[in-house]
Amino acid sequence: MKRLLTLLAVFLLVAGCANIPLESQPAAVPGDKPPQAPVDVPEPAAGIDSLTVARQFVRASAVPGTANADARVYLDDEARRNWKPSPGLTVIDDTFGTVYDTSTPQTDPNEQVVNVRGFKLGMLSPDSAFIPQKDEYSQQFRMRKQPNGQWRIVNPPQELAVTDEDFAVNYFRVPISFYSPESGAFVPDLRYVAAKPQAGLPGRVMDLVLQGPSEGLKGAVRDLLGDQVTTETNVRSTDDGTLNVALTGVGGASLADRNLIAAQIVLSLQTVTLSRIRLLADGTELVPGREYWRSSELPAYNVGVAPSSELLGLMTVNGRVRSLGDGQPVGGPAGNGGYKVISAAQSVDGKRLAVVEERDGRQWLRVGDLGRDLGSVDLFGGSLSRPTWRPVAPGGGISGEVWTVVDHNTVARVALAGDGRWVKAGVDATALTGLGQVTELRLSRDGSRLAAVVNGQLVIASIVRTADSVVLRSPRKLQERDLKDVVDVDWATQDHLIVATSSSTLPVVKVPLDGQRMDTFNSSNLTPPVHGVTAAPSRQNLVADAGGLWVALELGEVWRPQAHTVTDADPFYPG
């Protein structure tokens, strides 16, 4: 984290000049041969053995640049001329091995085979998104001693592998913003760009905006630009420090869409520039009457994805729902014992409550206005997961959709019908339930994704809505190797999750939505196992263990008792 913050500080202080397109892989032109390594990339040290050549090749593969110049110097002459690696990168653990291959005896003293072995953490896809993977990594390099006595690789891999540490140094994570019609909010799509040269960062970020959402988010958000919009000139800074973004192809976009496009660009660029941004379209202002933009001057598009500061959260205790603010029961049967409450969820706007009630040996869903009688929904089973609410649609209104998981294998939702009844509606969750037993489910407060606990592991998926269907797409396990025994999860922000496990060594962790890393909370004062967690933007993280409820704001902070802590409580913020 310190390294990323240092990089960002440098990026924001450097005034950009002409945008320098920079990809992690060479862009091959039909009929052209990739150039040899430029003369300013030094040859490897003389006399190094073939194992060292293979290891240094892997380390050099992490350095983005034209034609992978830093890695190309470890190849023989023919490979240097012809090597065309595929887009994307495989990210492996920092600890990897290089050993001589002994399966086939080598009769030529000038040839050797080296096996590179490690553990695969994930891959940087061609659309610059990190995709977590759990697998062994193995690559075989054939080496040949050159006339000058130096070992060089003759069969460079089609797919490059880089260590996790080198990836963090050479690539910078940027949340690219895309608009969600479901909530009227902008949704972050975590992508990675080459960290250097620093002057080209805004241009590389703008390239990703134009590419549209990554494969894992397609369909869950709206691509405002489409294929027809491009940049007319390089994204560049002028003498007065303004960042110029000149578009073409916007055409007949409505004024409303032009304002959304402006917000998308400004929000996406805010992590790599502090400059004001000049937005043009086909030679004139993108938004008529407004030429210059700053993120601080944008409308509050995402105000609805965070619960109001006045909503302090609730908890279930001994079958009743109580306030986290003062410990008192909420109004109505949910608080006075009229229902035997197993779990509950408050809508993001705070106006409604959904509870899972135990009745007649089964668990049933009830939904209604907070503080009043809650209507029983025709949805029941041996178990229902804690409910979770869809956000309020743009333009206001009241939350009208609740999700839960029935018997660990059926994702169900109920929606408010025109006649005031809550009725069941379908969800195609095959891609998620095919991974195993689903014990927890949390919709993101922007409505584009969900987080789930499946067979004790953390999974995210995108939510794709059409006029007549809701489908869960691209489920991905996060930190599959190290994060096990997960019992609960919640959205701390739009792009980070707080996760509770039954483990005594990793009771509470923080994970970005692409799973590229995992940060551990201080476990002081906690009494494992932790059995519940809740989080929300600008809120304290709140966990429940055998001793009660505990709060902490930062990763390194010692957990402190919540003001109205009680044992056997399960806390939840709105959402």
Domain borders along the chain are 32-123+137-170, 196-301, 304-572
- Cα separations (Å) of 551 from 111, 246, 525, 542, 572? 61, 47, 10, 5, 13
Looking at the DSSP assignment, which residues form a beta bridge with residue 113? 142
Strands across the sheet containing 410-416: 388-389, 401-406, 410-416, 422-425
Q: What is the pLDDT along the chain (575 residues), one digit of tens a residue?
A: 444 444 444 444 333 333 333 333 333 333 334 444 455 889 999 999 999 999 999 999 998 877 889 999 999 999 999 999 988 899 999 999 999 998 878 789 999 999 999 999 999 999 999 999 999 999 999 999 999 999 999 999 999 999 999 999 999 999 999 999 889 999 999 999 999 888 899 999 999 999 999 999 999 999 999 889 999 999 999 989 899 999 999 988 999 999 999 999 999 999 999 999 999 999 999 999 999 999 999 999 988 888 999 999 999 999 999 999 999 999 999 999 999 999 999 999 999 999 999 999 999 999 999 999 999 999 999 999 999 999 987 776 788 999 999 999 999 999 999 898 999 999 999 999 999 999 999 999 999 999 999 999 999 999 999 988 999 999 999 999 999 999 999 999 999 999 999 999 999 999 999 999 999 999 999 999 999 999 999 999 999 999 999 999 999 999 999 999 999 999 999 99
E strands present in 338-469: 341-346, 352-359, 362-369, 375-381, 388-389, 401-406, 410-416, 422-425, 438-443, 449-454, 457-465
pTM for the model stands at: 0.89
- Closest CA relative to residue 341, chosen from 322, 313, 327: 322
Fold that domain 304-572 belongs to in CATH: Neuraminidase (2.120.10)
Fold that domain 32-123+137-170 belongs to in CATH: Nuclear Transport Factor 2; Chain: A, (3.10.450)
- Cα separations (Å) of 549 from 305, 311, 314, 555, 571? 25, 18, 12, 17, 8
Looking at the DSSP assignment, which residues form a beta bridge with residue 54? none
Q: How many CB atoms lie within 10 A of CB 121?
A: 26
- Closest CA relative to residue 500, chosen from 460, 562, 458, 465: 458
- 384: number of CA atoms within 13 Å, CB side? 30
Residue type, 234: N
Q: In whole angstroms, what is the distance from residue 361 CA to residue 347 CA?
A: 27
Given a contact cutoff of 8 angstroms between Cβ atoms, the answer to whether 488 and 497 are in contact is no
